[in-house]
Amino acid sequence: MVKLFTCTTFDIMGDLTFGEPLGLLDTSEYSPWVEALFGFLKFGDLSRILLEYPLLGCLAAYLVPASLLEQARMHFQFAAERVDRRIERGSERPDIWNLVLRQPEGERLDRGEMHANASIFMLAGTETSATLLSGLLYLLCEHPDKMKTLCDEIRGNFHSDGDFTIESLQRLKYLSACIEEGLRLYPPLPIGPPREVHPDGNIICGKWVPGKTRLAVAQYTAYRSPRNFRDPDAFIPERWLPGTGYDDDKKNALQPFSYGPRNCIGQNLAYHEMRMILAKVLWNFDIELCPESAGWMNQKIWSLWAKPPLITLKPRASGPEVCFAAGHSGPLDQPRCANCTDWDYGSLNLSSRAQPFIFATGSGGKIGRTSLSKSTPQHDYYESFTLDLIPASSSRFVNTPRDFTVNSGAAISGAVASDHDSGLIMDALVMGLALRLLMPLGVFLLHVLETVRCHGWDQAIATLLVIVELGTGIYTSRGYNKAGENRAQAFGLLVA
């Protein structure tokens, strides 16, 4: 997931900055540019430390490993080439360079400034967000109760992840609280960017600081200080919600995007990006830590955290086993869904999409059929749900079930209703009555009473009942599957 988060943020920033994604999600592998960026981070840290010492600063070019110098050069070159290609190609889509090029001549950035800014955009807008998402997901996995609360909020406010918008996700209070708490416990930049004091000196936080002194806020330390936060080492998203006992926390101490007129210009984009990515992941997947994630937060720091592998994903669990049309004639098979646990055959195809459907469960909460040679009985209860349906694939079954149905006769919107086979009984009674009118009564009217008019009315009523029976049969067969259902016809003949 660490790698996937990085690939995602790089593709997003590539699209915004250069008008085209970088294609990392297509392969889920780091490109040479990403590898170069990691080297650029290390190069920047080492250079900054060496430049603090005048004698060593002169030797910086010789003390920094040549491989890091090359990666720093490659990072800048990749950014410059993408900018040049974007400017030459042009674009009708709004992106960063549309805004830059709108400026009048003489006020806009020159090409060299564009190159420099692009290299910063691709650093500041990618790995920082991916770092926060990785750390926050780890914290949520370590606190299942918080994970459940967040998943319930996300999954309970939308019909599908296609409904996610910037505005709708902003309204999810617990999601925002989790992001703030993640930024507090796992700030992407553990030590903030340095600032230099005015040459005349200044009073900062009540202390006199001489001129030209370089200062930075140790964010990791400040955010875990008991002077600023109660229970500072605990993951408590509720502290960011009113009335939860943490109103006295100094919440303005949290400044992960720096402070003042030179703070991060992309913080709104970062918040939107983090909300959207996290909501998408938690909508579609259940999360669990992989074995190597023990002690995951014990990491080295190169400006940003050096993150090891984090977690594994499994398809979202959303309910008991389901019953839906298998797409082939004959009896219905029980296919596999995202949360099926007792299916004897087959494997999972993880390329699923959320689809609305109505599922049926027996008294034990499971459908006990896996054979194509036996029909699935109608079940006791129906509910309306949205679930990730995953087609089953198996060497045992030739036909792979891929369809879903809606039970027109069941309750909707999640309300549970008992069925009692009423549709089948109605179908049988109508069929039996139609046969009575068509055969015995028709013969009696025509041959005993010798009344042609009454016989005509009998034929008309019987024909109408046959049409009603046909509609009832179709209605019943759509009840919980599209497979053939013979019990209505058999019972109707018995009544006749």
Binding region for heme: 264
Residue whose pair of structure tokens reads 């420099």 in the numeric block: 116
Q: How far apart, in whole angstroms, are the C-alpha atoms of residue 39 and residue 58?
A: 21
**Interstrand relation of 207-209 and 301-302 (parallel, antiparallel or unpaired):** unpaired
Q: Look at residues 419, 449, 81, 126 and name the one whose alpha carbon lies nearest to residue 266.
A: 126
| Residue ranges in 52-126 assigned as alpha helix (H) | 54-57, 60-63, 66-89, 96-101, 111-124
User: Considering Cα of 399, then 402, then 407, then 408, what sign does the dihedral take?
Assistant: negative
| Residue ranges in 161-266 assigned as alpha helix (H) | 166-170, 173-185, 219-223
Residues 6+ apart with CB under 8 A from 352: 315, 338, 388, 389, 390, 391
319, 291 contact by CB (below 8 A): no
- CB atoms under 10 Å from CB of 342, counted, come to 11
Question: What phi and psi, each to the nearest 5 degrees, are found at residue 387?
Answer: -145, 150
Q: How far apart, in whole angstroms, are the C-alpha atoms of residue 192 and residue 210?
A: 20
Name residue 205's amino acid: C
Angle (CA) 433-438-440 rounded to 5° is 90
What is residue 312's three-state secondary structure? strand
DSSP state of 444: I
Give the chain's length. Answer: 496
270, 16 contact by CB (below 8 A): no
* Token representation of residue 422: 């009423």
Residue whose pair of structure tokens reads 């490659």 in the numeric block: 74
Name residue 267's amino acid: Q
Q: Look at residues 175, 174, 219 and name the one whose alpha carbon lies nearest to residue 193.
A: 219
> Which residues are known binding-site members?
264
| CA diameter of the chain | 125
Kindly list the distances between the CA atom of residue 189 and the CA atoms of 33, 128, 482, in Å, as whole numbers in the listed order: 21, 8, 57
